[in-house]
Chain A
Amino acid sequence: MTTTVPSSHETATPSSSTLASTSSDDLTLCTFYVGEQLFGVEVSSVQEVIKNLNITEVPLADESVRGLINLRGQIVTAIDLKQRIEGTPSQNPENLVNLIVRTTDGLASLLVDRIGDVRVFNQSDSESVPPNLSSNLKSIAIETFRSGDELLVNLNTKNAVSLNRDPS
């Protein structure tokens, strides 16, 4: 993987927390809310956004797995992102939005509260993930960006959908 860190990089971020998959400095993110927090994932990894899909519960699955959805004949695992990040289930399961993302292991759905805009960020504005975030969030966060008066956390979709259950 090539990591292009622009020379104009001002913040003294160690390159380990920055990642750029495009050769340009621009990063296009699909933004969304879980609770009141703004998140983003790279727009190229998003296949589509769907509301109102019936979810079939899967007993015995990881608690972050809300269930299975039928995406035009393909069966896709839906992950409650709030549960994944905060360890508590979403308050309004009825109104969650399926953010269908492509990962190397196939499709997965991230259940989020609300979809935001598609925004373009400059790599040079990337800031490292604050160390005081919950360990769950840190394990899937790549970096943060300032978006208006909000802080956006850019998520790694592959990590977000892979639930490597802790031995504890």
Chain B
Amino acid sequence: MNNEELMIRNEFVSESLEHLTTVESLLVAYESDSNSLDSKAINRVFRSVHSIKGAAGFLAFRNIESLSHRAEEVLNALREGTLAPSSGMIDGLLNSIDRLKEMIEDLDKSESVDISGELALLERVLANDPIASAGATETTSESTSQDSSLASNPIKIANKCSPEALREFIVEYQENLEQVEKDLVNLERDLDNAEILNSVFRSVHTIKGSAGFLAFHVTESIAHAAESVLGDVRSHKIAFNSDIATTLFSTIDFMRVLLRSIEQFAEEKVPLDQGLLNRLRAFEYANQQDNRPTPIAPINPSQPKTEPLNSAVTVAKPAGEIIPKPSHPSEVPAPTISESTIRVDVALLDRIMTQVGELVLARNQILQYSNNSVSTSLQKATQRLNQITSELQESVMKTRMQPIGNVWSKFPRLVRDLASNFGKEVRIEMEGKDTELDKTIIEAIKDPLTHLVRNSIDHGIEHPDERSRNGKSREGVLYLRAFHESGQVVIEIIDDGKGLRIDRIRDKAIEKGLLTAESASKMSEQEISQLIFLPGFSTAERVSNVSGRGVGMDVVKTNIERIGGSIELTTAAGNGTTFRIKIPLTLAIVPALIVTHLGNRYAIPQANLLELVHFSREDSNFRLEWIQNSAVFRLRGKLLPIVFLSEIFKRSVDRNQTNVNIVVVAADGKEFGLVVDTINDSEEIVVKPLGQNIHTIEAYSGATIMGDGNVALILDIQGVCKMSGVAAVAKTLTQESTTRLTTADQQETYLVLESTTQQRRAVALHQVARLEKVQRSRLEASNERPVMQYRGEIIPLIFLDQIEDRELKLDEEHLANLVVSEVDGKPFGVIVHSIVDTQKANCVPFASPQGYVVGNTVINGRVTDVLDLTLMLQGEAL
């Protein structure tokens, strides 16, 4: 296309859009004030449409030309007074204008747009057909009798209804549509399930009844037609098949359009889809021609057909309830719902939430004062306040909780449509629909989840033929699962498809320069599979309209991480892929670790936290090692990059600190150790936005108010990670550790311990539940045996050095190394002098007089005794 043509086109677009805006505003003005459409205004509208027609004709945009031509004809009739303006006419014109706009905005596609609906509508307006102007009634002779029956029906009371009734209707309409949709998907799988069929029927019937009551005739007519079809299915007059299902799905879609119109304008501005209605009727007709040539009885069309149902369908009770309903209009909007629940503005809930947040802070402050106070009555009152506040907080949080099923409810339809789109057979199964999440989080995960579901169907699940070739069932399964796990919600999206092609991901990554061939060869499959979360990464050979545009997974990951969540995937070639998303329950109040650095407190969100490491300089087993200006720390055999918070804050770093506190954190899948001055405590903090001039700093994600009323900043671990440049280091480190692990595949992993006399001992890692540093003061005694309180239990302790008759030495911080193990599900603790490392090794077993020494091995060039902690506990108990 040359420049001149382009110019003409652009001019046409801008000019036409201007015209359309004028036309639209004039037409809309008529709706509010019918006198505004005087001959002058009509002339203007006419001229505008006329110029669009002319220009479109000149530029050979036939679709635009014919639609504007038809609109022009209507306007001409209006101008000449052969047609009187009506709301139906205005609707028709507005519809056409919307369509024209759409076409003009995308000229290249304008020729492929289907404008037959608009054309037909305008045609009807021109013919002065009452359908178009009334927008609701039907023309076929068969339906006339129905219409008259509806008109004479006592439930048609008034056009105007109260806003409350309308709102209730909309909500009910929406809920019923969702229910129908869900049920239909199920019904397609389980054709003979009378219960589901009844549920569909009930929902459609409710919609019809309420719509009739509130005089939404389009909804009523279409629901009536759908109900008739369903009634026939119920009474086994016709068999339910996928054609019926598809038509019913279209009906639901059409009803959604109606619903939107009702929501916006409190009236149905959409004309009845005659084609759809006829399609629905066709199913019914077939039945009537076979069995019952007489026309439908005029009173209540659903009645004769539902009558035989009582005997035919086992679950007949609902049907009995339904039939008399229309004659009791007061029952139509279900009264029970409005009695047991109320609808509350979300903004109000948000405000309550903020205020409860404040209350929590005030409570924390008072708690601090009361702890220092001697007055017992004050302390009692504070206790009570404390308890009530916690309960209130919990209840308020609950009001904002929504079941994840709210998001999932859309998936059965999505899966059905996508699967048929790709010619695949997919069944969706869900578990844990009732798992509740904060509303804001529900909203935030909607898109990522939808994307993952699309992705699984597009890329994961194979075509039925391919599946049966590989010995799988033809039907693929998409499994959604949600559950609570340690204060977080885990959502899993599991498909039994072909899994990820690790080799292809690796090749692609190398091709895109994300990896070198050498480093790729060192990475495990698990690590390579995570590469699909990198920006711009897509292995799809073709771009489908569903997924595979290379903008997918990284966006999913960022969106999930934005709300403090994480995502990982596991895949097995030929067996499918599992995406595992972990997200916090709520965003407003999060658990966090409080640390002090340079005299200020900072909060580190628990979601980023892995573990805490503390050691003093005298402790020869632990030290920071330096590679030029970067520090690393060997944590259980793995090199952990170390970031000094001082360094992030652009302050000087003391390389020779006597006590080192490392907070091991993870962000973007990278682990690193953050060195801070002091580690304080865990706390639930209320996240608040940062003030001006500060929110741009990458290192902070927000602020909170501590118990003493002072502000503490919340560290954004992702930001800190970026600022520190750990990203690059972490990659090479994981590679190193994985290569080492793979060489020692067949061996057992041991935790290496050292006694005060530098004697090395090892414990099989599977016997170790946890490693902790505990205050010396927590070590207590019971019945002359050492015990400690651990997670609400009293657990027995063994002092490894003592049972070997060595003196127990604790470091000057009075911290002891505790190894927690379990026997028969009961925990016990072993106090050891120091923990060195974890290593893989082959143990050479032997019998020993002590019993609990079960063998020895060489680890790091030193002879190391292998101990069995369970045997040791039994020996102690004797």
Residues of A within 8 A of B (CB): 54, 56-62, 65, 67-70, 73-77, 79, 103, 105-108, 161-163
Contact = CB atoms under 8 A, between A and B. Distances in A.
Contact of A106 (B601, B691, B709): B691
Given A65-B694, A163-B693, 13 more contacts: A54-B710, A56-B601, A56-B703, A57-B598, A59-B699, A67-B711, A68-B691, A74-B688, A75-B703, A76-B691, A77-B693, A107-B691, A161-B693
A76 to B, nearest CB: 5
B689 interface: yes
B697 A68 contact: no
Contact of A75 (B649, B651, B691): B691
A56 B692 contact: no
Nearest to B601: A56
B712 interface: yes
A56 B710 CA distance: 7
A124 B255 CA distance: 67
B147 to A, nearest CB: 58
Contacts of A58: 694, 697, 700, 713
A77 B694 contact: yes
Contact of B692 (A57, A73, A74, A162): A162
B711 A69 contact: yes
B737 interface: no
Interface in B592-630: 598-601
B378 interface: no
A77 to B, nearest CB: 3
A75 B688 contact: yes
B693 A59 contact: no
B665 interface: no
Contacts of B599: 57
Contacts of B688: 73-75
A49 B712 CA distance: 22
B705 interface: yes
A162 B700 CA distance: 19
Nearest to B689: A75
Interface of B: 357-358, 361, 598-601, 648-651, 688-694, 697, 699-700, 703, 705, 709-713
A85 B600 CA distance: 27
A77 B691 contact: yes
The 9 closest A-B CB pairs, nearest first, are A77-B691, A59-B649, A56-B711, A68-B711, A73-B358, A75-B703, A54-B710, A77-B692, A163-B693
Contacts, number: 79
A61 B694 contact: yes
A56 B694 contact: no
Contacts of B651: 59
A82 B615 CA distance: 43
Contacts of B713: 56, 58, 68
A65 B700 CA distance: 15
Contacts of A68: 690-691, 694, 703, 711, 713
Contacts of A108: 691-692
Given A56-B713, A68-B711, A73 B361 contact: yes
A107 B649 CA distance: 26
Given A73-B358, A75-B688, A60 B699 contact: yes
A61 B358 contact: no
11 contacts: A56-B712, A59-B650, A60-B697, A61-B697, A68-B713, A73-B361, A73-B705, A75-B705, A103-B692, A107-B691, A161-B693
A48 to B, nearest CB: 16
B600 A56 contact: yes
Nearest to B361: A73
Contacts of A75: 688-691, 703, 705, 711
A148 B709 CA distance: 41
Give the interface centre of B648, B691, B697 by most chain A CB atoms within 10 Å: B691
Contacts of B710: 54, 56, 70
A59 B598 contact: yes
Contacts of B650: 59-60
Given A56-B711, A73-B358, A75-B703, A62 B598 contact: no
**Which of A56, A103, A105 is most buried by chain B, counting CB atoms within 10 A of its CB?**
A56
A165 to B, nearest CB: 9
Contacts of B711: 54, 56, 67-70, 75
A65 B693 contact: yes
A74 B599 CA distance: 22
Contacts of B694: 58, 61, 65, 68, 77
A163 B697 CA distance: 13
Contacts of B361: 73
Nearest to A163: B693
A103 B744 CA distance: 63
Contacts of A161: 692-693
A69 B709 CA distance: 9
A103 B688 CA distance: 19
A87 to B, nearest CB: 16
Contacts of B705: 70, 73, 75
Contacts of A59: 598, 600, 648-651, 699
Nearest to A76: B691
A56 B694 CA distance: 12
A65 B713 CA distance: 14
Contacts of A162: 692-693
A61 B598 contact: no
Contacts of B709: 54, 70
A59 B690 CA distance: 14
Contacts of A67: 711
B748 to A, nearest CB: 46
A128 B183 CA distance: 75
B117 to A, nearest CB: 47
A162 B694 CA distance: 11
A166 to B, nearest CB: 14
Nearest to A54: B710
A79 B711 CA distance: 15
A79 B361 CA distance: 25
Nearest to A61: B694
A69 B713 CA distance: 11
Contacts of A62: 693
A122 to B, nearest CB: 32
A35 B649 CA distance: 30
A79 B693 CA distance: 10
Among B648, B692, B697, residue most surrounded by chain A Cβ atoms (within 10 Å):
B692
A152 B651 CA distance: 39
Given A68-B713, A75-B703, A61 B649 contact: no
B693 A57 contact: no
Contacts of B697: 58, 60-61
Given A54-B710, A56-B713, A68-B711, A106 B692 contact: yes
A45 to B, nearest CB: 14
Contacts of A163: 693
A59 B723 CA distance: 14
A74 B711 CA distance: 10
Nearest to B688: A75
Contact of A105 (B598, B692, B703): B692
Choose among B688, B693, B709 the residue with the greatest number of A CB atoms under 10 Å from its CB: B693
Contacts of B600: 56-57, 59
A164 B700 CA distance: 19
Nearest to B709: A70
Nearest to B713: A58
A62 B64 CA distance: 57
A65 B236 CA distance: 77
